[in-house]
Amino acid sequence: MDGRVVMVTGAGGGIGRAIVERLEAVGAVVVAIVHSESHVSTGSPDSVVALDLCDPEAPARAVDAAANVHGRVDGLVNCAGIQPVVEFASMSDSEWREVIDTNLTAAHRLTQAVAHLMVDTGRRGSIVHLTSIEGTRPAAGHSHYSVAKAGLIMHAKAAALELGPHGVRVNSVSPGLIDRPSLLADWPEGVAAWTAHAPLGRLGTGHDVADACLFLLSDMSKWITGTDLVVDGGMSVVQPW
């Protein structure tokens, strides 16, 4: 990955920061996309682009900014997302749109913009969507989130089909329950249930997800496109009955 330019959205969050750190450690030039520059704690000022990805024009501006500074873009990780809890029956249109726009539509626009640059400059590249195991197994209160993540999984497959002839690969990574500083305090019963049932016996970390993204961005996966890589400690094989 030495010298390759990779854009990472949601770089201010726990998983996003881990992805940035992992890519920088292997020599990649990372363009960190954040909502505000105060949300990122890594990278030089030239590697940070602060913008609202829900602005329809923002993705193209972000790609232009990266290309103007670094001359090209070799990879993209669509990591930005939100996960509010709202019951299905009481969900408003605005609550639905906020999650779909942030988690799905913004990723679509940015993928289009990056793909246009890659195709126009004749460069091969790799795009990775951060999805979730909830994209195939919904959780209560997360219907809009699950729908958006399911959409991202299919978006990666559809984009891979059309962009493959241009040398652009598109895949997704679906994490399971990822640890964060306040998770145990916020949801002790969920953490206990997960660790008791997951075959690998622990929560995931941001770096577990980052390693999967690095694999899909690198030449180690050069014949892989249109796939969803599940990173959940084996929880997806646990029988629910």
Residue 226 has what DSSP assignment? S
pLDDT, mean of residues 57-65: 91
Superfamily of domain 5-230: NAD(P)-binding Rossmann-like Domain (3.40.50.720)
Is the predicted pLDDT of residue 37 greater than 70, yes or no? no
For residue 100, give the H/E element and its range: helix 93-100
Confidence band (pLDDT; 50, 70, 90) for 51? confident
Among candidate residues 162, 79, 172, the one with its CA nearest the CA of residue 118: 162
pTM: 0.93
145 catalytically annotated? yes
Question: Of these residues, 133, 145, 160, 194, which one is catalytic?
Answer: 145
